[in-house]
Every structure is written in structure tokens, then in C-alpha cells.
Amino acid sequence: MKNITKSGTSAPTLDSQAQQPRPIILALMFTGILYFSVTPKLPNNSAVNVGSSQVTTNLSASVVNAVLQDAAERWGVPKSDFRIVRAQQLNWPDLCLGLDNSANSVNSCPKKIVPGWHLTIARGNDQWSYRTNASGSEVALENSTSSPKRSSNNVAIATTVN
């Protein structure tokens, strides 16, 4: 129903105003839709699901990249051929990440607690274990040979970080 004013134009009634939402309400609705539909980019220190387990660790992308890069260069295959099957945050007992480097003298590997990671990577059925410091700037393959481990009988000398 329209009300006619003295000037001859029809004045909007309550029924005609309810048909179109106000611009501010439309803006708020579109902002809400955009906010909840955009996927945020993961930060560099993001949580990564490792292997088939549901355990989530705060494994940085720099550590993952350093280990996969070393493996790719060592065996001459793309980084994408490898997958991380296990990651454990540890404290290594020395600057050599707890590895026995008999070629090094005792003084070349000072005793100092080094926070880091113990990662197991796989390619097909083959697995390799790596040790890194917390940032991934130091990476060491546990077995100095290029042949993979098929069993995990090696024991790391380190303390678990809680």
C-alpha cells in the first residue's frame, strides 16, 4: 500500500522498505563471507602432520626443506620424491648433534646442549634418519653411507624436549 503525499509523489511505506537491505548491512554480510571463506597462509613455523600418525609437531619449514634438500642432492632425485615419516624434537649433547665423528678430534665437537630434530624420511620402502639443529642450518645423516635403513634399531643419544 502506498501513501500519497501532498506533492503527488508516493512516500515509501514499511512494506517497500523491507524489500531491500540497507547498504551497511550488505557490506557487513559480504565482509563476513569473505573473512570466513579465505584460507589463511600458514606461517613458516607451522604445525605439520608427520606420516600417517595424528601427532602434530611444530616442525619449521626451514628444517624440512634443509633435510629434503640434502637427501635430494645426495641421491640425485627431486625433493618431492621424499616424505617425512617421523619427527621428534630432541636436545643433542654436543655441536656434532650427538653423532660419533671419529675423524674429528675431541676438541672439534664441544659439549653443548643443542636443541634440534630427529627426522626419518622415506622414499618408497627405504628410510633414512637425519639430525638437525632447531633452525635446520646444521643437517647430518645418521648413517654416513648412502644406503638406506630398513629397520630402526639405531638409538639416538639425546634428551626429549617437553
Higher pLDDT, 55 or 18: 18
pTM beyond 0.75: the answer is no
- 65/156 Cα distance (integer angstroms): 22
pLDDT of residue 120: 94
Over residues 7-40, the pLDDT tens digits come to 666 666 555 555 666 788 878 887 877 776 665 5
Q: Cβ neighbours of residue 29 under 8 Å, at least 6 residues apart?
A: 21
E strand spans, the chain: 3-4, 10-11, 48-49, 56-57, 83-94, 111-123, 126-133, 139-141, 159-160
Confidence of residue 51 (pLDDT cuts 50, 70, 90): very low
Q: Is 29 helix (H, G, I), strand (E, B) or coil?
A: helix
- Angle (nearest 5°) at CA 157 between 139 and 137: 15
Residue 79 exposed, middle or buried by CB count within 10 Å (0-12, 13-18, 19+) = middle
- 93/98 Cα distance (integer angstroms): 6
Retrieve residue 115's grid coordinates.
636443541
Whether 154 shows a pLDDT value over 60: the answer reads no
pLDDT of residue 45: 42
- Answer yes or no: are the C-beta atoms of 138 and 67 closer than 8 Å: no
**Over 113-151, what HEC string results?**
EEEEEEEEEEECCEEEEEEEECCCCCEEECCCCCCCECC
Whether 151 shows a pLDDT value over 50: the answer reads no
Over residues 75-130, the pLDDT tens digits come to 999 999 999 999 999 999 998 888 876 555 555 788 889 999 999 999 999 999 99
Whether 53 shows a pLDDT value over 70: the answer reads no
89 to 56, 67, 105: CA distances (angstroms): 11, 14, 27
pLDDT of residue 29: 81
pLDDT of residue 91: 93
Over residues 59-72, the pLDDT tens digits come to 889 999 999 999 99
Confidence of residue 140 (pLDDT cuts 50, 70, 90): very high
